């Protein structure tokens, strides 16, 4: 089928009109309830099995510059004093966690995200790392990943992170074109990014991810081609390519984006396709809806063996069943549900200073929720819903999906195939993945104002 024909068909099925979640969790964070908070958090932390290692996520909600396109929970600061005081609050939260968690719990993974963790000077990097390691002993195969802003990092910071054990890194790039950068309020020279990558490799980083965004103002095929060349010349192991989510009603700073120069539906679709082709030609394997990885990278191996998972950071090969989120707006995932810390930094600080943890919203999972969460995760990771595996895990409950499966087939026809064993999304149907996943979402709010599906 020609490109135009495929796009028309997908458009008629709602590709450009649908507003659906990205399913980094199910249920998604917007439907968490304020009735599930501190009490649930304390109970679920205390109930963790100390023999099973956890993942730990720490959120640093500060940046030196605020990029206009960005929908992350973060605030701009020109001074280090709120950052230093925030590290003190994280230390206090970690001490509260130590009082609540079972003794002997270890971490298999540590991730620092944001915002911009590399806003921390070396002394604060060491302080925070020490506070985490005081509470969580490390497993022998412990991994430590950090989100790096190439324009706000230097050799001393990289050396400090490496000394604390950082072995993976993710750098923000978004786009290298000067006109695009100007239109998103983000200046980032290629040379500075290259120097950062060289420093990271010299410091022993074996897995390097680069974040890119398509659908930004002024992006054209020619400018994108140049960005893609530059990104590939940095030799990342993984690439995340996100579709620009324009949600100025959520992220107020996006009001600075000139909507008249945003690529339209067809142009966005073409930019995504052009990028995927360039990555494939460079030897990258496509992973899920928005990631690419070299065949030897752990993410590609996990995808090939059916062990890819989805969490708040996107796709992962992380197998730890629990994730403890620390810091403002961080979400913890427990075997029985989710709890999110107070989202605004001042509110988060108030909770911790009052001497208790900061859980403010959440969701406790029923068996039905757990079954649907796994079904949606399978669709997002494998483009397939393995009915046999689900039935093996959840028994008769899985029959509750039959009506949804019929609806998917009725709506998407030969873009999917359904057998007793599994539902599969065809290559051509893949752009519809989030929309198909949403048909299994029993918590989808009627008035949802999510970002677009394409
Ligand atoms: C690094 C930044 C983050 C990205 N996702 C998250 C973070 C911290 C996780 C996250 N994103 C949203 C929520 C919900 C509630 C909240 O606390 O704000 C959480 C926990 C919402 C959200 N994120 C994006 C949008 C458009 C929204 C609003 C609702 C929706 O449309 O789903 C956009 C977005 N954020 C990130 C990416 C990669 C991305 C879009 C591709 C990173
Ligand atoms: C953590 C990563 O999330 C991506 N990111 C941040 N904000 C948005 C948005 N509005 N739309 C798409 N991607 C976004 C950037 O690529 C960043 O590096
Ligand atoms: S893209 Fe990174 S540096 Fe820019 S505002 Fe978002 S978190 Fe901060």
Q: What is the pLDDT of residues 45-78, one digit of tens each?
A: 999 999 999 999 999 999 999 999 999 999 999 9
User: Looking at residue 454, what is its pLDDT?
Assistant: 83
**pLDDT value of position 448:** 66
Of all protein residues, the one whose alpha carbon is nearest to atom 18 of ligand 2 is 172
In a domain, 358, yes or no: no
Is 246 inside a domain boundary? Answer: yes
Which residue, of 273, 298, 326, is where some domain finishes? 326
> Is residue 254 within 6 Å of ligand 3 at its C-beta?
no
pLDDT for 8 beyond 60? yes
Q: What's the CATH number where 255 sits?
A: 3.80.30.20
Assigned token pair, 353: 């200073």
What per-residue confidence (pLDDT) applies to 2? 60
- pLDDT cut 70: percent of the chain above it: 99
| Lowest mean pLDDT segment, chosen from 222-226, 239-243, 346-350, 444-448 | 444-448
Strand arrangement of the beta sheet that strand 384-386 belongs to: 384-386, 422-425, 416-418
Same domain, 59 and 19: no
Ligand 2 near 213 CB (within 6 A):
yes
> The CATH number of the domain where 7 resides is what?
1.10.10.920
Does the pLDDT at position 279 exceed 90? yes
- Domain limit, last residue, from 326, 350, 376: 326
Residue whose tokens read 């074996």: 206
31 CB near ligand 1 (under 6 Å):
no
Give yes or no for residue 66 CB within 6 A of ligand 2: no
pLDDT at 3 over 80: no
**Domain check: are 17 and 67 in the same one?**
no
Same domain, 126 and 181: yes
CB 70 within 8 A of CB 253: yes
Q: Is residue 452 part of a domain?
A: no
Q: Which atom of ligand 2 is nearest to the CA of 245?
A: 11
Cβ of 183 closer than 6 Å to ligand 3, yes or no, is no
Q: Are 107 and 220 contained in the same domain?
A: yes
Tell me what the pLDDT averaged over the chain comes to: 97
Between the alpha carbon of residue 357 and those of residues 25, 82, 94, 451, the distances in Å are: 22, 20, 9, 31
Q: pLDDT at residue 123 above 80?
A: yes
Domain membership of residue 57 (yes or no) is yes
Nearest to 338 by CA among 425, 433, 443: 443
| Co-location of 265 and 405 in the same domain | no
Confidence of residue 307 (pLDDT cuts 50, 70, 90): very high
Is the residue at 125 inside a domain? Answer: yes
Which pLDDT score, from 0 to 100, does residue 166 have? Answer: 98
Confidence tier at 4 by pLDDT (50, 70, 90): low
Which atom of ligand 2 approaches the CA of 70 most closely? 7
**Averaged pLDDT, 432-440:** 97
Q: Is the CB of 269 under 6 A from ligand 2?
A: no
Which of 69, 292, 450 has the most ligand 2 atoms within 8 A of CB, as the residue to mutate?
Answer: 69
Please check the confidence at residue 290 and state whether its pLDDT lies above 70.
yes
- Asked if 4 and 142 sit in the same domain, the reply is no
Task: pLDDT band for 450, please (50, 70, 90 cuts).
Answer: confident
Phi, psi (deg, nearest 5) at residue 435: -70, -45
**Are residues 90 and 206 located together in one domain of the fold?**
yes
Q: What pLDDT does 1 receive?
A: 52
Residues 427 and 231: their CA atoms lie apart, in Å, by: 26
Q: Where are the beta strands (DSSP E) in 185-320?
A: 207-214, 238-243, 285-287, 291-293, 309-311, 314-316
The residue to which tokens 């993945």 are assigned:
433
Q: What is the pLDDT of residues 365-402, one digit of tens each?
A: 999 999 999 999 999 999 999 999 999 999 999 999 99
Rounded to the nearest angstrom, the gap between the alpha carbon of residue 33 and the centroid of all alpha carbons in its chain is: 21
**96 found inside a domain:** yes
pLDDT of residue 36: 98
Range of the domain at 385: 1-28+366-442
Q: Does residue 277 lie within any of the structural domains?
A: yes
Of 114, 213, 290, 291, best ligand 2 pocket probe by most atoms within 8 Å of the beta carbon: 213
- Are residues 16 and 107 located together in one domain of the fold? no
- 354 within domain boundaries: no
How many independent structural domains does the chain possess? 2
Q: What integer pLDDT is reported at residue 451 of this predicted model?
A: 84
Asked whether the beta carbons of 216 and 244 are under 8 A apart, the reply is: yes
Pick the residue with more confidence: 166 or 444?
166
- The alpha carbons of the chain give a radius of gyration, in whole angstroms, of 22
Q: What is the dihedral of CA 299, 301, 305, 309, to 10 degrees?
A: -10
* Cα within 13 Å of Cα(51), Cβ side: 0
């Amino acid at each position: 089928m020609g490109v135009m024909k495929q796009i028309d068909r997908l458009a008629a099925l709602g590709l450009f009109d649908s507003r659906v979640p990205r399913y980094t969790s199910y249920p998604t964070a917007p439907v968490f309830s304020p009735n599930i908070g501190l009490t649930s958090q304390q109970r679920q932390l205390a109930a963790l099995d100390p023999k099973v290692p956890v993942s730990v996520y720490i959120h640093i909600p500060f940046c030196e510059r605020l990029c206009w396109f960005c929908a992350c929970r973060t605030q701009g600061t020109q001074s280090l004093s709120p950052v230093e005081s925030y590290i003190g609050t994280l230390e206090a939260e970690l001490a509260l966690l130590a009082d609540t968690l079972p003794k002997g719990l270890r971490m298999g993974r540590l991730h620092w995200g944001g915002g911009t963790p590399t806003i921390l000077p070396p002394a604060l990097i060491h302080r925070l790392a020490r506070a985490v390691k005081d509470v969580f002993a490390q497993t022998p195969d412990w991994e430590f990943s950090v989100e790096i802003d190439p324009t706000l990092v230097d050799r001393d910071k990289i050396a400090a992170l490496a000394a604390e054990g950082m072995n993976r890194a993710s750098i923000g790039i978004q786009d290298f074109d000067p006109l695009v950068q100007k239109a998103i309020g983000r200046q980032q020279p290629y040379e500075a990014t290259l120097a950062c990558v060289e420093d990271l490799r010299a410091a022993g980083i074996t897995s390097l991810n680069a974040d890119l965004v398509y659908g930004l103002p002024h992006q054209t095929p020619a400018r994108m081609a140049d960005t893609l060349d530059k990104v590939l010349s940095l030799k990342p192991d993984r690439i995340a390519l996100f579709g620009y989510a324009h949600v100025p009603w959520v992220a107020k700073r996006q009001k600075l984006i000139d909507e008249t120069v945003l690529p339209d539906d067809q142009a966005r679709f073409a930019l995504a396709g052009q990028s995927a082709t360039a990555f494939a030609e460079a030897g990258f394997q496509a992973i899920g809806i928005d990631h690419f990885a070299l065949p030897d990278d752990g993410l590609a191996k996990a995808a090939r063996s059916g062990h890819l998972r989805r969490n708040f950071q996107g796709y992962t090969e992380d197998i730890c069943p629990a994730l403890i989120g620390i810091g403002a707006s961080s979400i913890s995932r427990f075997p029985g549900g989710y709890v999110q810390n107070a989202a605004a930094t001042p509110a988060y600080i108030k909770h911790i200073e009052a001497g208790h943890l900061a859980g403010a919203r959440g969701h406790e999972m029923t068996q039905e929720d757990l079954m649907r969460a796994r079904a949606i995760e399978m669709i997002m990771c494998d483009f397939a819903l393995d009915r046999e595996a689900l039935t093996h895990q959840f028994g008769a409950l899985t029959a509750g999906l039959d009506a949804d499966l019929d609806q998917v087939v009725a709506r998407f026809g030969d873009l999917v195939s359904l057998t007793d064993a599994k539902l599969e999304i065809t290559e051509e149907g893949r752009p519809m993945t989030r929309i198909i996943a949403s048909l299994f979402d029993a918590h989808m709010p009627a008035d949802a104002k999510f970002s677009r599906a394409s």
